[in-house]
């Protein structure tokens, strides 16, 4: 078994164990599994919060404001000075993007674990039986109950339309839209304000706030709807986490909200 297959098998066994505990409700199992993933990745999220707070505090630092004025017309020098201050203060400018990047292998592993768990083909069923640990009773779990609300978690989600749309074969993609919106909101809420147009971390965060909602929305549109349930749950938990800790930058949702508030 390759390292990747071993990684996916951990996801499969965890999902099926939760599925068995909650009365064989696969949608509920995915939601609880998402909460578990959030708990495990808490140190990464904590580092993200710490870095974002340090970057926000830096905007009010008098030395940094003086440097901004001094090199206002020299963007290259301003960027060099900014990176120097980041290093002195122990700030990782890219840590705000790290949890999102770490999520990508989790997404692919979860996609494979969902499709493997549902075992819609004889080959998939064989792979599943080889992945399940001895602590689970395969005969009592298979086939899985893939129904959750109006969805079949093994298929892309879509609400039937009264007319055919060639580029929406599965119907109206409500979950894909919710995934894109909640991903955008979470990304914007965790982006610190900046006054430096040459800020590399701000530039990366800006790109992530555009590309990630589109990418995850496309995943939700194309892949099994169980993945969309994971995305939405993870995004809502992230938004709630930042809000409860008072770290959510709500102004960033407004046009021009990424600029620091003017203080008297």
83 CB-near residues (< 8 Å, 6+ apart): 93, 200
- The pLDDT-based confidence of 4 (bands split at 50, 70, 90) is confident
- Categorise residue 24: left if φ over 0, alpha if ψ from -120 to 50, beta otherwise: left
Task: Return d(Cα 3, Cα 15) in angstroms, integer.
Answer: 19
Residue found by looking up tokens 């122990």 in the block: 90
State residue 83's pLDDT score.
82
What pLDDT sits at residue 65?
Answer: 78
pLDDT for residue 261: 45
- Computed over every residue of the chain, the mean pLDDT equals 77
User: Are 229 and 108 in contact, with CB atoms under 8 Å apart?
Assistant: no
- pLDDT, position 232: 93
Q: Which backbone phi and psi does 159 adopt, to 5 degrees?
A: -90, 125
The answer to whether the CB of 30 falls within 8 A of the CB of 153 is yes
> Residue 264: its pLDDT value, please?
39
Please write the tens of the pLDDT for every residue from 237-259: 888 877 777 766 677 676 655 55
Please state, in angstroms and rounded to a whole number, the distance separating the CA atoms of residues 188 and 251: 9
Cα angle 210-29-127, degrees, rounded to a multiple of 5: 90
Question: What are 6-61's pLDDT values in tens digits?
Answer: 888 888 888 889 988 998 898 999 999 989 888 887 776 666 666 666 776 776 77
- The residue count for the chain: 264
CA–CA distance from 110 to each of 8, 9, 135, 136, 149 (Å)? 7, 10, 21, 19, 20
Single out the residue of 19, 216, 241, 259 nearest to residue 118, CA to CA: 19
Distance CA 186, CA 48 (A): 13
Check residue 99 and give its pLDDT.
Answer: 62
Paired strand residues for 172: 159
Q: Which residue has the tokens 């710490």?
A: 50
């Amino acid at each position: 078994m390759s390292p990747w297959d071993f990684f996916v098998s951990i996801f499969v066994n965890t999902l099926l164990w939760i599925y068995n505990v909650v009365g064989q409700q696969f949608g509920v199992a995915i939601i609880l599994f998402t909460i578990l993933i959030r708990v495990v990745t808490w140190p990464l999220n904590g580092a993200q919060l710490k870095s974002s707070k340090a970057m926000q505090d830096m905007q009010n630092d008098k030395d940094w404001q003086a440097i901004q004025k001094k090199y206002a017309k020299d963007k290259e020098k301003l960027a060099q000075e900014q990176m120097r201050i980041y290093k002195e203060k122990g700030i990782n400018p890219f840590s705000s993007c790290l949890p999102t990047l770490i999520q990508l292998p989790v997404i692919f592993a979860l996609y494979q674990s969902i499709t493997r768990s549902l075992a819609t083909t004889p080959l998939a069923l064989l792979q599943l039986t080889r992945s399940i640990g001895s602590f689970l009773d395969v005969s009592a779990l298979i086939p899985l109950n893939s129904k959750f609300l109006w969805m079949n978690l093994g298929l892309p989600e879509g609400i039937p339309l009264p007319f055919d749309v060639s580029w929406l074969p599965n119907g109206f993609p409500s979950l894909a839209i919710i995934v894109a919106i909640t991903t955008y909101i979470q990304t914007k809420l965790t982006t610190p304000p900046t006054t430096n147009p040459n800020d590399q971390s701000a530039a990366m965060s800006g790109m992530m706030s555009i590309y990630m909602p589109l990418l995850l929305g496309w995943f939700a549109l194309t892949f099994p709807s169980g993945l969309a349930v994971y995305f939405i749950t993870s995004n809502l938990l992230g938004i709630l986490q930042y809000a409860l800790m008072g770290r959510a930058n709500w102004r960033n949702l407004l046009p021009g909200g990424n600029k620091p508030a003017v203080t008297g």
